[in-house]
Amino acid sequence: MVFATDSGRYMQQADDFQAESAALHEILRQLSDADFERVTAFKGWTISDVLAHLSLWNHAAVWSLTEPKTLRDMFAGTAEVIRRDGSMRRFEADWHDGARGAALCARWWDSCGLVREAFAAADPAQRVPWAGPDMSARSSVSARLMETWAHGQEVYDELGVVRQNTDRIRNIVVLGVNTYGWTYANRRAEAPQPKPYVELTAPSGARWAFNEPSSDDYVRGSAEAFCQVVTQVRNVADTDLEVNGVNACDWMSKAQCFAGPPNDPPPPGSRVTRSD
């Protein structure tokens, strides 16, 4: 949704991103430096690793709007580190001068404000460069919200906190629905047609529906569970989603709404919220 203001255009997605970041910040600001080194269930990343990643790519999103050369230079730098070390973690840590814990959290929180400020007044249709194909500014800030929400999940899980979602996750739902084709193209495959019908219940209780209605090929359930599957923070078997039909079952077995090489979902039962 785009609102007009006295100064011009305004993207609600920028405020949605900031609100999601603020919810995560509220629990992070209570942690000790030792807590930031707790290892999450995502690839052995610590909470500090998560924040280093989110912070750098928040800056990258801003550069895509304002300093495309800086963004290209960063991509070149990350590619070199990946070739040498096989991971971006080293580049992200070095970019933050080795900051960890509360100091790194403060840097990440500052980067959230930069994203919100840059995108709030941007033209939603403006094309911005990225690691893969260019995208619209609206898609770019929605992707920042999605990544904050997705990487935030491993933090919530590790800390034993059950996240209270709001209807701002509709941005992630839309991204998940719109990347149906990407899930297959990323695997050099044709996306099966027709697209499955998607019918979800929002945190507010509202009904969200996408694609042509079908009683044979569909995904139904909570919007939160759908977001968990398309961001690969849960295996579909660990959610309340009702999945029926060949196309729907195949999609939910590999759905990927984020950029990068093909990734498989986590094994069933491997991503849960700690209860101890």
What average pLDDT score do residues 31-50 get?
97
Residues 82 and 89: their CA atoms lie apart, in Å, by: 9
Average pLDDT over residues 95-110: 97
Please state, in angstroms and rounded to a whole number, the distance separating the CA atoms of residues 47 and 30: 13
**In Å, how far are 41, 96, 262 from 145, measured between CA atoms?**
20, 21, 21
Topology alike, domains 2-164 and 171-252:
no
Domain boundaries, the chain: 2-164, 171-252
* 130-139, 162-171, 180-189, 253-262: range with lowest mean pLDDT: 130-139
Q: Which residue has the tokens 């709001």?
A: 166
The per-residue pLDDT for 78 is 85
pLDDT at residue 4 greater than cutoff 70: no
Nearest by Cα to 273 from 152, 154, 165, 169: 154
pLDDT of residue 42: 96
pLDDT at 71 over 60: yes
Lowest mean pLDDT among 82-86, 154-158, 218-222: 82-86
What's the chain's average pLDDT? 93
**pLDDT at residue 9 is higher than 90:** no
Q: How many Å apart are CA 48 and CA 186, to the nearest integer? A: 29
Q: Identify residue 137 by its one-letter amino acid code.
A: A
Whether residue 10 is predicted with pLDDT greater than 50 in this model: the reply is yes
Q: List pLDDT tens digits, range 107-161.
A: 999 999 999 999 998 999 999 998 877 899 999 999 999 999 999 999 999 999 9
Q: 161, 27 in Cβ contact below 8 A?
A: yes
Kindly state the average pLDDT of the residues 80-104. 89
Indicate the SS3 state at residue 128: strand
CA nearest 219: which of 192, 236, 237, 196? 196
**Which residue has tokens 């999940």?**
153
The class (CATH top level) of 2-164 is mainly alpha
pLDDT category at 7 given cuts 50, 70, 90 is: very low
The residue with greater pLDDT, 94 or 152, is 152
Strand 218-222 versus strand 197-201 pairing type: parallel
Confidence of residue 1 (pLDDT cuts 50, 70, 90): very low
Is residue 85 left, alpha or beta, with left meaning phi > 0 and alpha meaning psi from -120 to 50? alpha
Q: What is the pTM of this model?
A: 0.94
Closest CA to 233 of 156, 128, 122: 156
Is domain 171-252 in CATH 1.10.260, yes or no? no
Confidence of residue 174 (pLDDT cuts 50, 70, 90): very high
